[in-house]
Amino acid sequence: MISFPTLLILILLLLPLIFGAPAENPKALEKILVEENPDTTENREKIRGIISEAFENRIPRVQGRQGVAPPVKLMALNYGPKNNQTKRFEELNSEINEYTFESDIMLNENQAKNLANSIINGNYRSKRQAIVDTTLFWSPSTPIYYQFDSKLSATNIANVRKAIKFWNDNTCLSFQENNSGKNRLFLSSAGGCWSYVGKQDNMPYQVVSVGPNCDSLGTATHELMHAIGFWHQQSRSDRDDYVYVDFSNIIPSQAYNFQKMPLDQAQLLALKYDYGSVMQYYPYAFALDSSKYTILAKENGMQNSMGQREAPAFSDLIAVNKLYNCTSQCKTKMTCSNCGFTDPKNCNQCKCPNYFTGPTCDALPTGTAVNCNGAIIQAISSWQTFNATAGDPNSYTSSQGNSSSCFWHIKAPAGQKIEFKMTTAPMAAICMQECPWQAVEINLGQFDLYGMITCCDTMLNQVLTSVQNVIALRGRVSYNQLKFSVQYRAVPNQGTATTQTCVTI
């Protein structure tokens, strides 16, 4: 028998589940609703209620869908100690989590209701990446207006301008500063880093919170990509094929942030899952023990690529250009190599993955690092060694956030593949997750996707086989000199495909 007092306590405990939890943190709401924000307390509270009600009691279902754990050998790979150099918005936003969705998304009422309906009806069987509702779309033929909050510092504004320029230069969308523009983005500092998803027609303008801790190129382009119309990478319904979400290390009240999203609000656009997407969560998001991952990559070598905030990945460019039918701006399309696509702002050239350059993406980029010995290396049937260098061996100053680059291509004859191994790793002695000082990105030949980021001896002497007859390496140096050695040889194709399949735009 349950005693009366116990019953009373039980009912009291259940009340929040029935009526939505009471505001625990009014201060958070004050921060979000800065003076200039046209959104309201009533609206934010209502949306919080809709979401918390829909997700309460459904967490076990969310958890049940995490899929099988990655192979033990991948989980045991040593990526070194956690990189505590840069604070991530997933951590900075903890004080506003109660009013955001997935840390940095401000849902509108329609989105919240649709989401709640799908959650309640158990409609998970879909993959999502981009918005579906056409009222949320911007138009390539109308400028996306923006305004800076006059309270932002000059440095802050200059940094955010770089992020706007990035999207302006790499898509058919045109951003234009206009302090009275209809549906403008109001770039402000409003308690953390966050954005609405898509154009919010019911507000005169919409806040994008990109204050002082949110204005690195990676973070600011991330928030702007939400505003352009994209959700997070790991909420795609096929994410369990790529990542393992460790619910045992997730703050229970935050588990709903790992929900997978329904197709009625999102489309995949036949895009591929990319660990290096700027829209992929940081792999420590919502951790109970912040020294342990909450998201584990199921593919070899991809752990360090998750949560990268250097800049949007090439797959992010593909995604935005595809959503907005950008190449239809060009009467004739270019034939681009290596998954490049016709540049909608200059129809006579291709937009290339960063390992390639030239009008049709066939050439090796020069690289910005001093002493870069970037080269196109021919593989033959016997193992050969290449020693790579980039950067100044006499410089002990860190240029964090402004790293320099160097590129190498390893090529086998057409129709063959390459076996490849790293035989000396950079910085093996100062191994650290994410490789902030020196890194090698290894792309085995699927160039519309991000590669493996390595610096420690994690990948040492592991023989990797290319997808096709080209492997691209990108060196990234922020400190001293990057030095590593690789061995490679051309091998006959074993009957599998020898060409990459690029996402068509």
Ligand X SMILES: *[C@@H]1O[C@H](CO)[C@@H](O)[C@H](O)[C@H]1NC(C)=O
- Is 98 one of the annotated active-site residues of the chain? no
Nearer to ligand X, 124 or 137 (CB): 137
Q: Which is nearer to ligand X, 205 or 275 (CB)?
A: 205
Query: Residue 310 binds which entry of Zn ion, ligand X, none, with Cβ cut-offs from 5 to 8 Å by kind?
Result: none
Which stretch, 180-188, 273-281, 334-342, 463-471, contacts ligand X (CB under 6 A)? 180-188
How many C-alpha atoms does 364 have within 13 Å on its Cβ side?
Answer: 21
| Nearest-angstrom CA–CA distance, 387 and 425 | 11
Catalytic residue among 53, 90, 102, 223: 223
Which of ligand X, Zn ion, none has residue 329 at its interface (CB below 5 to 8 Å by kind)? none
Based on the shown chain and the rule CB under 6 A, indicate whether residue 121 belongs to the binding site for ligand X.
no
Compose the 370-409 pattern: x for residues touching ligand X by CB under 6 A, - for all others: ---------------x-x--------------x-x-----
> Interface mask (CB under 6 A) for ligand X, residues 64-83, using x and -?
-----------------xx-
The distance of closest approach from Cβ of residue 101 to ligand X in the complex, given in angstroms and rounded to an integer, is 23
Q: Which of 119, 306, 318, 432 binds ligand X (CB under 6 A)?
A: 432
Q: Binding string, 287-306, against ligand X, x = CB under 6 A?
A: ----x---------------
Q: Residue 104 CB, nearest distance to Zn ion (Å)?
A: 4
Distance CA 299, CA 301 (A): 6
Residue type, 253: S
Tell me if 31 sits within 8 A of 211, measured CB to CB.
no
Candidate list 178, 378, 501, 504; residue touching ligand X; CB under 6 A:
178
Least distance (Å) between residue 97 CB and ligand X: 20
Q: At its nearest, how many Å lie between Zn ion and the CB of residue 197?
A: 9
Binding flag, residue 366, ligand X (CB under 6 A)? no
Q: Is 485 in the site for ligand X (CB under 6 A)?
A: yes
**In Å, how far are 368, 407, 456, 476 from 373, measured between CA atoms?**
11, 8, 21, 13
Of 84, 135, 248, 366, the one binding ligand X (CB under 6 A) is 84
Please identify, using beta-carbon distances, which residue of 205 and 447 lies nearer to ligand X: 205
Which helix H or strand E contains 91, and what residues bound it?
Answer: helix 89-92
Nearer to ligand X, 40 or 291 (CB): 291
In this structure, is the dihedral angle defined by the CA atoms of residues 11, 16, 19 and 25, taken in order, positive or negative?
positive
Distances (CA, A) of 198 to 68, 201, 208, 266, 487: 33, 9, 11, 11, 46
Residues 424, 426, 428: CA angle, nearest 5 degrees:
85
Least Å from the CB of residue 277 to Zn ion: 11
Q: Where are the beta strands (DSSP E) in 269-393?
A: 295-297, 341-342, 350-351, 375-378, 384-391
- The two three-digit tokens of residue 268, written as one number: 């995949």
For ligand X, give the closer residue by CB, 172 or 467: 172
Count of C-beta atoms within a 10 Å radius of residue 331: 6
Residues 6+ apart with CB under 8 A from 294: 245, 246, 249, 250, 283, 284, 285, 286, 287
Contact between 90 and Zn ion per CB under 5 A: no
Among 96, 115, 129, 126, which Cα is nearest to 228's? 129
User: Exactly one of 180, 394, 494, 496 binds ligand X (CB under 6 A); which one?
Assistant: 180
Which position among 16, 38, 49, 181 is part of the footprint of ligand X (CB under 6 A)?
A: 181
For ligand X, the closer CB: 180 or 382: 180
Cα dihedral 411, 458, 441, 388 in deg (nearest 10): -60
Nearest CA among 101, 18, 102 for reference residue 56: 18
Q: Does 409 show up as a binding residue in the annotation?
A: no
104 binds Zn ion (CB under 5 A): yes
Query: Which of ligand X, Zn ion, none does residue 104 bind (CB under 5 to 8 Å by kind)?
Result: Zn ion
For the beta sheet containing 184-188, the strands, ordered from the edge strand earlier in sequence to the opposite edge, are 105-106, 194-196, 205-209, 184-188, 144-148, 175-177
Rounded-to-integer distance, Cα 94 and Cα 91, Å: 6
Chain residues 301-360 in contact with ligand X, contact rule CB under 6 A:
324-325
Distance CA 35, CA 477 (A): 42
Distance CA 214, CA 222 (A): 10
Strand partners, 490: 418
Cβ proximity to Zn ion, 104 vs 434, nearer residue: 104
How far apart are alpha carbons 48 and 50 in whole angstroms?
A: 6
Closest approach of Cβ 205 to ligand X, in Å?
Answer: 10
Count residues near ligand X (CB under 6 A): 19
Which of 152/217 has CB closer to ligand X? Answer: 217
CA distance 291 to 82: 7
Contact positions vs ligand X (CB under 6 A): 81-82, 84, 137, 145, 178, 180-182, 291, 324-325, 368, 385, 387, 402, 404, 432, 485
The residues annotated as belonging to the active site are 223
Q: Binding site for Zn(2+): what residues are annotated?
A: 222, 226, 232
Contact positions vs Zn ion (CB under 5 A): 104
